Structure 1
Amino acid sequence: MNDTWGLLSSGFNDAAVNMAMDEALLNWHSEGQIPPVLRFYGWSKPTLSVGHFQRVERAIDMEGVRRHGCEFVRRQTGGSAVLHDDELTYSVVVSEKKDYIPTSIREAYFELSKGIMAGFRNLGINAEYSIPKERFRDRTAVCFERPSDYEMLVEGKKISGHAQTRKKGVLLQHGSIPLTMNKQLLFDLFQFPDEETRAAKREAFSAKAITIHEALGKNVTYEDAEEAFRKGFETGLGLTFVPIELSDEQWEEVHELADAKYRSDDWNLHFRKKVPANGKE
């Protein structure tokens, strides 16, 4: 790509702030206030995020979410539900006008995935691309049960997930890279017809998904993972990064958007669009 992007390490925040920040970055980039940005972040509490168009009442056990003290949020991007817990999360915000951003979503996934692939290699993990040869007829509510195009596999098991949206001429992609995964918790957050089905699904999941800890047989810290994937984006995509920090005014805008939209049941549970107080929807 041979371009210069901003690098934002925003640390650990709650679900509403994390999603509001991704949306704010998209808005600011569309307005020319900031360059393209690679952001790394974590979650202050275990959080279940659902895809933009996912029907909560059909798949999610909200009583289980409350019982386990998890946060809950709806993403701007599509796809299935993701449990964010002990993981490194990344987001990319970049103009569609860049000549290295393909118009095809699948091709854009492939281009950006080169940074993720290089990051895994920096950790000593030999990942390979998932390239489904056919579309699955049955859908799953659980993100890591099935790989999408150009996600990463290790030993045939999914090790990362990503999702993308395009608004205001800007591509937003974010992805989940689990360091470890609480599979007991994960399957307590979804609806099943009975406990036998829940147990069977949980048991089968281990054959479909893998974490960094499982792939390496050792723990990797959040900080080490962030460094590995930062270098991965540098070498895999040919990028130069300039660290950026948010101003007090930008943080205020993020928190206003978090309160107006991403803490709202209208958005999170029912997907009824609600214009935030800052008017940027």
Structure 2
Amino acid sequence: VSSPLLVHPLLCESAAANMATDLWSLLEYPQDEHPRYRHFDWKRPCVTFGYGQQFDWVCGETGRKESDLCRRPTGGGIVVHGEDWTYSLVIPPLHHACKGSAADVYLHVHEALAFAFAEHGIKTALLPCAGAVSSNATRKVIPGQCFLEPVARDLILLKGGPKVA
């Protein structure tokens, strides 16, 4: 039996409002048996970073003002927002899609995105588990930058292009 996907309306908010909405969706959403998808925009450019990263370290590494930074309620590295396509997907832990490992769920979500991109003529590839090294490895990049340091099962543009999911 398949659960419906609840789709939130597109909103353009501040970084703090976007992250608060993500946290609400993760912790407090009333229909917790249904996966929730939200595509959203940013009122101004900003940087988000995972809950496990140190705020002072992120400030130093990005060179951004404190007002341009916002902690995500989830993990992960540094993500620069403003010109990107941002979404959040919350899958409840008891949902059938979560029967595998976190890595399996990550893979299946990216496979679905690859299919959607292909439907629009955009060719992508999943970064393999073995040798999951960024094509930008020779460039100096900020450690922990999600889109400059792809990992296994990330979705990249075909032929060594940048990470897209």
**Counterpart AA for 2:119:** N
Compare relative contact order (CA 8 Å, sep 6+) and give the higher one, 1 or 2: 1
Instruction: Please give the residue correspondences for 1:18-33 in structure 2 after superposition, counting only pairs within 5 Å.
Output: 18-29=18-29, 31-32=30-31
Pairing partner for 1:88 from 73, 85, 90: 85
Q: CA deviation at 1:70?
A: 6.4
8 A Cα contact 2:132 2:150, kept in partner: no
Pairing partner for 2:152 from 138, 149, 154: 149
8 A Cα contact 1:10 1:40, kept in partner: yes
TM-score by length of 1: 0.50
Give the equivalent residue in structure 2 for 1:64: 63
SS of aligned partner of 2:10? strand
Matched residue pairs, number? 157
8 A Cα contact 1:109 1:149, kept in partner: no
TM-score by length of 2: 0.81
Q: Which runs of 5+ in 1 are unaligned?
A: 162-281
8 A Cα contact 1:59 1:141, kept in partner: no
8 A Cα contact 1:49 1:74, kept in partner: yes
Change (3 A) 1:102 1:111: farther
8 A Cα contact 1:101 1:108, kept in partner: yes
Q: CA deviation at 1:96?
A: 1.2
8 A Cα contact 2:77 2:145, kept in partner: yes
Q: CA deviation at 1:128?
A: 0.5
Q: Which runs of 5+ in 2 are unaligned?
A: 134-141
Percent of pairs with identical residues: 22
SS of aligned partner of 1:60? helix
Superposition RMSD in Å: 2.7
Change (3 A) 1:32 1:101: same
Give the equivalent residue in structure 2 for 1:131: 128
8 A Cα contact 2:33 2:94, kept in partner: no
Distance 1:119 1:127 in 2: 10
Larger Rg: 1
